[in-house]
Amino acid sequence: MKKFINSIDDLVLDSAAGLVMAHEDLLRLHEEPLFIHRRVPKKDRVAVLSGGGSGHEPLHSGYVGFGMLDAACPGLVFTAPTPDQIVAAAQRVDAGRGVVLIVKNYAGDCASFQTAGDMLDMEHLTVLVNDDVAVENSTHTTGRRGVAGTVIVEKMVGAAAEAAADLYECKAVGDHVNANTASMGLAFSSCIVPDTGTPTFEIGPTEMEVGVGIHGEPGRYRRSVMQADDIVALLLEPVLKDLQFPASRQVLLHVNGFGGTPLIELHLLNKLATQRLQAEGFKVVRWLVGNHTTSLEMAGASLTLTALDDELLSLWDAPVTTPSMRW
């Protein structure tokens, strides 16, 4: 296994420490139990907390900061955080207005956040993200998986909280974004989870896994590699079918890389997807292109659309200052 790693036991903590060192103006590390939180706590605002397995960086810890998350709880690689991490983080960031928990729909994450929720002594509500249209149930999930749309939910809920929305309004924003967001991805290669040291799945030299999950779990089917134009059509079709919004609606397009695909290819996908959407009459008005919700070094990408209204557009445009998203 060729990775920059000292010991599997220390990887998640040491990596979190390295992130916080690089952004000491924004972030603080809480080691035991592990979470990353804002250096300057919010006052009199709803706190926004997320977490999940490590290996998807920058999700979630790279989005802690002004206008997005107050804290992120990283689990072991592809493993949910423990309830005590979530409880300790919620206690740290609660400013008396309650806490929104943003949870990707995986069985492990749901169980940990549910258990933590039962232990929390402040008001809290959960936003469940399940934007992946690839499969209805999967290896790790009952119902649809939460994937790259999570970043969009976190951005918009974070902006609402910063603008003094109350707990129920923040929850409503999150549910509204999730309902208007759909994603579909594919992979050219598997990642290698450090714990196992071997590829999660085998894939032939000319195959791609369509509908792959962000842990390398199976999608819809395998097929031969296609050219990028055809891939874009293949990914957009189920996303548009799921959202079923009128072509007059403004949309945010998120081209997400899974970690091992370089920017030159992601920008190409963005050009092709934008042009295809425009040709069908959609108004693409905002873009996010890059490796945001990754699967370690997996090669592949997903396309996510969010149907915007005036509220969501203004939440997207609101200022944000985090390690991996700032404007």
User: Residues in the site for its own copies, rule: CB under 8 A?
Assistant: 2-7, 11-12, 14-19, 21-23, 54-55, 57-58, 62, 77, 188-189, 205-206, 208, 225, 227-229, 231, 255, 259-272, 274, 287-289, 291, 294, 296-297, 299, 301, 326-327
**Shortest distance, CB of residue 315 to its own copies, whole angstroms?**
17
If you search the block for the tokens 């050009």, which residue do you land on?
271
Is 83 or 260 the residue whose CB approaches its own copies more closely?
260
Amino acid at 103: V
Among this protein's residues, is 140 annotated catalytic?
Answer: no
Is 141 or 189 the residue whose CB approaches its own copies more closely?
189
* Residue 227, CA distances (Å) to 230, 268, 297 in order: 6, 11, 22
Is 16 or 134 the residue whose CB approaches its own copies more closely?
16
**Shortest distance, CB of residue 300 to its own copies, whole angstroms?**
9
**184 touches 147 (CB < 8 A):** no
**Shortest distance, CB of residue 61 to its own copies, whole angstroms?**
9
Is 46 or 282 the residue whose CB approaches its own copies more closely?
282
**Shortest distance, CB of residue 296 to its own copies, whole angstroms?**
5
Q: What is the C-alpha separation between 214 and 302, in angstroms, rounded?
A: 10
Q: How many CA atoms lie within 13 A of 126 on its CB side?
A: 19
User: Could you give the 3-state DSSP secondary structure of residue 122?
Assistant: coil
By residue count, the chain amounts to 327
Among this protein's residues, is 176 annotated catalytic?
Answer: no
**Shortest distance, CB of residue 154 to its own copies, whole angstroms?**
16
Amino acid at 85: Q
Is 126 or 321 the residue whose CB approaches its own copies more closely?
321
The token pair at 221 is: 């089917």
Q: What is the C-alpha separation between 299 and 292, in angstroms, rounded?
A: 13
Per DSSP, helices labelled H in the chain are 11-22, 83-93, 107-119, 149-162, 167-179, 228-243, 263-279, 310-317
Q: Which of 37, 215, 254, 292 is catalytic?
A: 215
Pairing of strands 181-187, 207-210: antiparallel
Q: Output the DSSP codes for 191-257.
A: -B-TTT-SBSS---TTEEEET--TTS---SEEEE---HHHHHHHHHHHHHHHH---TTSEEEEEEEE
DSSP state of 61: G
**89 touches 30 (CB < 8 A):** yes
Element of type H or E holding 327: none
Q: Which of 23, 37, 56, 60 is catalytic?
A: 56
Supply the residues annotated as catalytic: 56, 215
